[in-house]
Structure 1
Amino acid sequence: MSHHLAQLNIGRLVADTDDPRVAEFMGALDRVNGLGRRMPGFVWMLEGSGEPGTGNTETKIDGDPRFVSNLTVWESAEALETFVFGTIHRQFYERRAEWFELLGERHFVMWWVEPGHRPTLDEGLLRLAHLREHGDSDQAFGWAHLKGAGAARAERCAPVAAE
């Protein structure tokens, strides 16, 4: 494939990152992110400070410390799909309602990038805004837009909650 797949997933925690209500999620960040970085097809991840147990939680959206983001690049949709639905990540994905507020709008977006491009959070947020306004397109899309994303189609929840 001549392009790589970028993805941005944002969420708003139900409590501050040091609150016991999100401790299990925060405690698993290093393990899950480390697994992602070792997966076949992984290319790049937007990193935070590198402090243990913080992931990328220091990156604030609209200055809100409870908004967290995950921005990664993968060689293919299949590689991302394998990580999301075929590893321990899936267990945390299935429990996301315990740690994250329901936003009531799409919070997950993917788009194609040239190999070597490292998207910024602002770029991802613009893609997400485009998806929210225009729906799936070649500029910004969810799992349903990808041909052959079988596990994702079978496993995803309602579009507002999952994408």
Structure 2
Amino acid sequence: MDYRLIHFNCARPTGEFTYENEFVRVFLSILPRIFGDADSFDGVHWHTHGLRQPDGHWRDLYQAFPYPRGTGAPDVCTMAGWRSLEDMRSFVYSGKTHPAGMRRLQEQLDRSQGPGFVMWWAPRGERFTMEDGWQRLVHLRANGSSNYAFSLDQPIVRPQVA
């Protein structure tokens, strides 16, 4: 059985999720370039995106607005399937657009809920929903790194091909 790395990450902006918020304006302006780079990056197999509202409901990222005022900022989430941990790190830290764009936004993130990034190894072809990714992140926050959900600081080695 062949395994691929799945990652799920969330970024919750500080302040209201409106076009007046600098994080929202900048983030939405750089996403098309980041998504284009991901589409042409050999090590990523797929990527999907969404917003998780504070009440637990999911919204499509491309239909984020109008976002209901007064409901609190959503978690802006991405999930992707990668060929390897090395490929994921290369894109995140050395890619054309991702590193500079995310560095620019770091100071405008609410990190009060704990880690916003989780990974796990999954058999090739296994499918996941955004809610599945959210549950893995919640598990990591509560229990720390494990085979079920791990962090970049404590990565788990790819399972051996059977």
- TM superposition score category, shorter chain reference: 0.7 to 0.9
- Mean Cα deviation higher: 100-109 or 117-126: 100-109
- 1:57–1:68: 8 Å Cα contact kept in structure 2? no
Q: Which residue of 2 aligns with 1:146?
A: 155
CA RMSD of aligned residues (A): 2.5
Cα distance in structure 2, aligned partners of 1:140 and 1:64: 27
Give the deviation of 1:57 after TM superposition: 5.9
Q: Which residue of 2 aligns with 1:136?
A: 145
- 2:17–2:72: 8 Å Cα contact kept in structure 1? no
For structure 2, the residue ranges without an aligned partner over 5 or more in a row are 51-59, 158-162
Alignment deviations for residues 71-91 of structure 1 (CA, whole Å, 9 cap, x no partner): 111111111111000112111
Give the deviation of 1:67 after TM superposition: 2.0
Greater strand share, 1 or 2? Answer: 2
Q: Which residue of 1 aligns with 2:99?
A: 90
- Residues 121, 147 of structure 1: alpha-carbon distance in 2 compared, 3 angstrom cutoff: closer
Give the deviation of 1:17 after TM superposition: 4.4
Q: Which residue of 2 aligns with 1:153?
A: none
- Residues 112, 89 of structure 1: alpha-carbon distance in 2 compared, 3 angstrom cutoff: same
- Structure 1 position 120 matched with structure 2 position 129: yes
Alignment deviations for residues 7-41 of structure 1 (CA, whole Å, 9 cap, x no partner): 11112123324225121221010101110121111
Structure number with greater CO (CA < 8 Å, separation at least 6) is 2
Greater helix share, 1 or 2? Answer: 1
Partner amino acid, structure 1, of 2:27: F
Identity %: 28
- Residues 26, 146 of structure 1: alpha-carbon distance in 2 compared, 3 angstrom cutoff: same
Give the deviation of 1:109 after TM superposition: 0.2
Cα distance in structure 2, aligned partners of 1:47 and 1:11: 11
How many aligned positions are there? 140
Alignment deviations for residues 95-147 of structure 1 (CA, whole Å, 9 cap, x no partner): 23244223341111000111122311111111111111111111100112227
The structure that has the greater radius of gyration is 2
- Mapping 1:1-163, distance limit 5 Å: 2-14=2-14, 15-22=16-23, 23-47=25-49, 56=61, 58=63, 66-87=74-95, 88-146=97-155
Q: TM-score, normalised by structure 2?
A: 0.75
